[in-house]
Chains A and B, each alone.
Chain A
Amino acid sequence: GAGVSQSPRYKVAKRGQDVALRCDPISGHVSLFWYQQALGQGPEFLTYFQNEAQLDKSGLPSDRFFAERPEGSVSTLKIQRTQQEDSAVYLCASSPDAALIGNQPQHFGDGTRLSIL
């Protein structure tokens, strides 16, 4: 596809379960970002990859959150021992090489809506 693809679109899990959210960025985009969006609020930065290197994970709320991008394309955000406060929409965005080009618009996927019961 031409855009950023995220799966699943919806995920319901019981408190304490582990979840994994997938992001397929636009082909050739070097930079990949994860954001968390609570209901009625703007997206909040979680973490950033340049190819397979995770350059910034300052936004991850706790050590239960883990992201990876082992081959520099698809990325997975994993949340362990989920809590109710983890309920949110998780957005993935990609852009061409941010380190090379600098600031530019990010292209967002439609997100995964995570509900923790």
Chain B
Amino acid sequence: GESVGLHLPTLSVQEGDNSIINCAYSNSASDYFIWYKQESGKGPQFIIDIRSNMDKRQGQRVTVLLNKTVKHLSLQIAATQPGDSAVYFCAENGGDNFNKFYFGSGTKLNVKP
């Protein structure tokens, strides 16, 4: 998708609420997807992944949903905590098996105490 430059989409939620972060991916050949969390000054940190033969995968407090028909991913975070505040990126592999990823432009999650 298009870059939003300095103006990242921002999602503000209250501590304890559930968060849903959405991502539209671009390549219908992509068959592996990852959600990363990036805190200021840090590198991306793996949260959860999903392969195209699944439409839902759950981790600890996180769930990823994949809708291949509309090329859409979402990340659900249950009982959001202040420590969840960060920028979240989805990444797709473009159908490539050599682990090269294409990242979205990110969503900033702001958790209010």
Contacts and interface: CB of A to CB of B under 8 A. Distances in A.
Interface of A: 4, 31, 33, 35, 39-45, 48, 50, 55-56, 91, 93, 95, 98-99, 102-111
Contacts of B59: none
A40 B6 contact: yes
A101 to B, nearest CB: 8
A108 B43 contact: yes
Given A40-B5, A109-B43, A99 B49 contact: no
A107 B43 CA distance: 9
Contacts, number: 74
Nearest to B39: A110
Given A39-B6, A41-B106, A42-B103, A108 B44 contact: yes
Contacts of A48: 98-100
B interface: dominant SS? loop
Contacts of B70: none
A49 B3 CA distance: 27
12 contacts: A35-B103, A39-B6, A41-B3, A41-B105, A41-B106, A56-B98, A103-B31, A103-B32, A103-B97, A103-B99, A104-B49, A110-B43
A106 B101 contact: yes
Contact of B100 (A4, A33, A39, A110): A33
Contacts of A45: 100-102
Nearest to B41: A110
A17 B41 CA distance: 25
B61 interface: no
A104 B48 CA distance: 10
Interface in B69-109: 89, 91, 93, 97-106
Nearest to A101: B99
Contact of B99 (A33, A109, A110, A111): A33
B103 A44 contact: yes
Contacts of B51: 103
